[in-house]
Chain A
Amino acid sequence: MLAADQYLMVGVVLFGIGVIGFLTRRNVIVLLMCIELMINGAGLAFVSFCRQTGSLDGQVFVLFAMVIAAVEIAVALSIVLLVFRNRATLDVDEMEVLKW
Chain B
Amino acid sequence: MEITFPAVNIDSTMPQLIVALFAILALLVEVFSRSPRMVFATCLVGLHIALIRSLMQWGRGIPYESSLLAVDGYTTFFNILFILIAMITMAISLSYVENTRVDGGKYYPLVLFATLGMMLLVSSMDLLMMFLSLELLSISMYMLVGSQRDKWVSTEAAIKYILTGAFASGFLLFGIALVYGATGTISFSKMESILGGLGGAGAIHELPLLQIGIALMMVGLGFKIAMVPFHMWAPDVYEGAPTPITGLLSTGSKIAVIALILRLFNNPFIQVSSQWVGILWVLAVLSMTLGNVAALLQKNVKRMLAYSSIAHVGYLLVAFIALSTRGMEAILLYSAFYAVMGLAAFGCIASLTRAGGGTTAGEGERLKAEDYTSLGYTQPVQAAILSICLLSLAGIPLTAGFIGKLYLFGAAVNAGFVGLAVIAVLNSAVSLYYYLGLMLRMYALPGRFAPMEEPVGSLFGKLVLLVLGVTIIALGIYPTPLVGVIKGAVTALSAL
Contacts and interface: CB of A to CB of B under 8 A. Distances in A.
A46 B135 CA distance: 18
Contact of A58 (B142, B167, B180): B180
B163 A28 contact: yes
Interface residues of A, number: 47
A28 B298 CA distance: 28
User: Binding site of B, secondary structure by majority: helix, strand, loop or mixed?
Assistant: helix
Contact of A98 (B127, B156, B174): B156
A83 B13 CA distance: 39
Interface stretch (B117-125, B234-242, B268-276): B234-242
A74 B184 CA distance: 32
Nearest to B186: A57
Given A39-B170, A55-B185, A72-B166, A65 B131 contact: yes
B472 to A, nearest CB: 29
A98 B186 contact: no
Nearest to B213: A45
Contacts of B178: 45
A55 B180 CA distance: 10
Given A68-B132, A71-B135, A79 B235 contact: no
A42 B174 contact: yes
Contacts of B153: 97-98
Contacts of A1: none
A22 B178 CA distance: 21
A72 B1 contact: no
B298 A45 contact: no
B406 interface: no
A53 interface: yes
B204 interface: no
B173 interface: yes
B143 A39 contact: no
Contact of A68 (B1, B131, B159, B162): B131
Contacts of A15: 170, 174
Interface string B347-369: 00000000000000100000000
A95 B156 contact: yes
A82 B135 contact: no
Given A38-B170, A64-B131, A80-B159, 17 more contacts: A28-B163, A32-B163, A42-B174, A49-B180, A55-B1, A55-B185, A64-B132, A68-B169, A72-B166, A72-B169, A79-B142, A79-B158, A79-B159, A82-B158, A95-B159, A98-B236, A98-B239
Interface of A: 8, 11, 15, 18-19, 22, 28, 31-32, 35, 38-39, 41-43, 45-46, 48-49, 52-58, 60-61, 64-65, 68, 71-72, 75-76, 79-80, 82-83, 86-87, 92, 95, 97-100
**Shortest 10 CB-CB contacts between residues of A and residues of B:** A38-B170, A49-B181, A53-B184, A45-B177, A98-B236, A42-B173, A42-B174, A35-B166, A57-B186, A46-B177
